[in-house]
Chains A and B, each alone.
Chain A
Amino acid sequence: MIEILSFLLAYFVFPGLLFAGALGLLFMGIDRKVTAHMQHRIGPPIWQEFLDFGKLLGKEDITPAAAQGVVFTLAPLIALGAAVTVILLLPINSAQPALTSVADLIVIIYLLNIPAICIMLGGYSSACPFGAIGASRYVVQLFSYELIFIVTALTAAVKVGSLSLGSIVTYQVQNGWLAFKAPLAAAAMIVAAQGKLLRVPFDIPEAESEIVHGPLTEYSGPKLGLMRLAYGIELFAVAGLITALFFGGPVAHTVAGVQIPGVVSFLIKTFAIVLLTTNIRNIAARLRIDQAMKFFWTIIALLAIVNLIIVVL
């Protein structure tokens, strides 16, 4: 009984839906603010995403008549569910995540693909040419970054000798950050994350000046709100995964006599990675899908594979 309750608490409150949702939206808001200042303007307040989410929930829920209603409606829900589940598998509070399983790294990689697939399904099922084009571009992009993502994650796992995130964090406590031991992999993973999170230069599937809003064109109201929330949580999850794999995870530090709890250090590092992606997205133009693919399959793949080989040998 207690277990069920504690699971529900973990899923919906901390570190689940409420916590991750709030932080995800907050990170998105700060990203917008930083972007604005980099563009020499003021930008919206950092809680703008919360306001947007609330507003969207209050709007009429419309499904286009020609769309596949069931798929269209379920896509955001499943995306949200998957993203929150990933949060539960991340070591946020301490080296042990809220949920553990034997090979949780594999489960996480698998689950992190679900929001992407849901967006694609949403695009295809929306009966809109922009949706279809956006979804098909997303499929191509998935082939670009996903392998890199997997290879780099596995590099960390091979180095440590375990697929469990808890062990990876513990290893880093004793031996220092994996980012110093496998820097190429860390760099490659950050670039792959830029693609996974659909941020410039890799936001082709959602390229608004070309195909309106890509797969999400026909989404509006509460469904759009849920998609955006799922995106915020995915942002937090991916950055959090990178933090856990390469930057030490939730390790308590003592700085100048002040004890910083693990969770705070985790949040700070995750936030730093988000800011890094924000920086990249503001200083580049968007690449075409074929250019993005070429980029990933040559340079980035090289970095990732070289590092994997070094680590194996």
Chain B
Amino acid sequence: MKAEQVVQLIKDYVKDVKVTNERRVTAITDKQHYRGALSALKANDILHLSTITGVDLGEEIAVIYHIDCGGPLLNLKLFLPKKAPSLLSVTDIFPGAVLYERDLMEMLGVDVENHPDPRRLFLPEDWPEDNYPLRKEAKK
């Protein structure tokens, strides 16, 4: 698949698409549309979610879905307010997201709803509840 084709597939669900080179596409979406974009990709036999990255940007938390589109890599970004960061799980679209979402939950405190198994992944059981290690406040 070419970068242009990827852009065509998701154009209804994103704003601000950047094609950095023939194999890197970055697109910004939001909470209402991200699932639409992911479903559109899946409907075209794009099944590989490489990973989900979370970044603490101060007031917001950025969630980036990195998706391999058979050649180009799509970085689908959305921004969540840090006060109430929540989104729906995508494990129904990409079952391979199951561990990455747990990672996002425990490291950045993003509330992923409908996750089939919302346990901690890397942190030990006795780690305090509201301490999210990859958030900026965690580093005092």
Please determine if A and B sit in direct contact within the complex, based on CB atoms under 8 angstroms apart. Answer: no
B interface list, Cβ under 8 A from A: none
